[in-house]
Amino acid sequence: MSAPVDLQPTTARRSTLDRVVRQLLLIGDSSPRALFDLKGSMLLAGVRCTLTYLVIPLGAPVLGWLGVLATPLSLLMSIVAIGLAVSSLRRVWMADYRHRWPYTAFIVTAVALLVVVVVGDVRTLLA
């Protein structure tokens, strides 16, 4: 079940910071749209985390061939996760969801952590 969405009228005045974030997310000042179900994004993030932090570390020693694929797979999943996070953030902002700022803080933190993982994976691949 989706959370209730509080839509603001399109004539609502937005703060300067709201307008800046909407421009960064390439939304502009479009009319609010319905908030899409975020279950799919959360499911994919859960699968990625399970693979990255459980299956690969535990399975790699058992399956020697996976050790070679672990870093590229982690890199690919992290890049996809960043894309999904930004996409879900855009949906939240397009809907003018009233809790968009806490959600934005969560996504910025998650993306920052994923960037650290991506940098580590790239350094491992280049070493």
Domain assignment of residue 107, yes or no: yes
Residue 104: the pLDDT is: 92
Domain assignment of residue 5, yes or no: no
Q: Which residues contact 26 (CB under 8 A, 6 or more apart)?
A: 90
> Which residues span the domain enclosing 85?
38-126
- 25-78 tens-digit pLDDT: 888 766 666 555 556 666 766 776 777 677 766 665 655 565 677 788 888 888
Q: Which two tokens stand for residue 118?
A: 């991506």
Quick check: 16 pLDDT over 70?
Answer: yes
Domain assignment of residue 119, yes or no: yes
DSSP string, 20-31: HHHHHTT-TTPP
Domain assignment of residue 68, yes or no: yes
Report the domain count for the chain: 1
- The angle subtended at Cα 95 by Cα 89 and Cα 101, nearest 5°, is 50
Domain assignment of residue 4, yes or no: no
**Pairwise pLDDT comparison (42 vs 91), residue with the higher score:** 91
Collapsing DSSP states into helix, strand and coil, what is residue 81?
helix
Domain assignment of residue 29, yes or no: no
